[in-house]
Amino acid sequence: MEIHVFDTYVKAADGRTMHFDVITEVNDNEKAIGFAKEWLKSVGEENSKITTAECQFCHTQDAPEPIANQIKEKGYFIQKMEGCP
């Protein structure tokens, strides 16, 4: 499976920066933002600002099997980098 990676930086309610990648099967920035919002809500950060300024396309690559499986199941995968719960 070919995947698209969107590099994302979002301010949390406590002021820290959360850095994570939104990984999807479709190269669509608006869908990536929607997936980011869904994940942010799941970790209690639904009020965090996220636009194309915070979530930008980075690159395309082949997906490792665990990531591909989660994308098939949920539509996306979040790769936590820094400051994420």
Q: How many whole angstroms separate alpha carbon 63 and alpha carbon 73?
A: 14
- Model confidence at 40, pLDDT cuts 50, 70, 90, reads very high
Strands (E), the chain: 2-11, 17-24, 55-62, 76-82
| Strand order through the sheet with 76-82 | 55-62, 2-11, 17-24, 76-82
* pLDDT, averaged across the chain: 97
Mean pLDDT calculated for residue range 48-56: 96
Domain of 48: which CATH number?
A: 3.10.510.10
Mean pLDDT calculated for residue range 50-61: 96
Mean pLDDT calculated for residue range 51-74: 96
Apex CA 41: angle with CA 32 and CA 61, to 5°?
25
Mean pLDDT calculated for residue range 39-67: 96
Share of the chain above pLDDT 90, in %: 100
Mean pLDDT calculated for residue range 13-22: 97
- Model confidence at 70, pLDDT cuts 50, 70, 90, reads very high
Domain tally, the chain: 1
Q: Which domain range does residue 40 map to?
A: 2-82
